[in-house]
Amino acid sequence: MSLRLEMLQVARLAPKLLGESTELVRDFLLQQQNSEGGFKDRDLYPSCSGPDGKIVAHPDASRIGLVRADVKDVAGKAYGAEMVKVAEEGKFAEVNYMFPRPGADKTPVQKVSYVTKVAGYVCFVGVYK
């Protein structure tokens, strides 16, 4: 199974495994942080914002602490607000927007993110097209 499929499987099972425990989710996210600022494999990474709406997990450390609902893409699309709006416990929704791949090239490309809510956290895993 590819790493992308494995991560989507983990994201699908996480709500069942973690239940309604906000502390477990927070602790899990903190354990995923690495010396580069977060978990990522090439251009695949999870990101979450806490119950207060602030981003708590992202491979780009400069995004930690931003309010998810306030983030927009280069075209002005309020994709963060859309993620917050469509996130539901036990379900996945798709949100499309423009975002640069991790790395030196900051050219925005089309991205689709699969968004869910786990114990009050809005989390997603995105795929660049």
Nearest CA to 102 among 55, 36, 48?
Answer: 36
Count of structural domains, the chain? 1
CB 64 within 8 A of CB 56: yes
Domain that holds residue 48: 3-128
The 10 Å CB-count burial string (b at 16+, else e) for 96-124 is ebbbbebeeeeeeeebebbbbbbbbbbbb
Mean local confidence (pLDDT), 36-52: 71
Average pLDDT, the chain: 79
**What would the pLDDT profile of 54-76 be if each residue is shown by its tens digit?**
998 887 788 889 999 999 999 99
Q: The CATH number of the domain where 81 resides is what?
A: 3.30.450.20
- 27 — phi, psi (to 5°)? -65, -40
**What would the pLDDT profile of 98-126 be if each residue is shown by its tens digit?**
998 877 888 999 999 999 998 889 999 88
Nearest CA to 62 among 22, 117, 123, 106?
Answer: 106
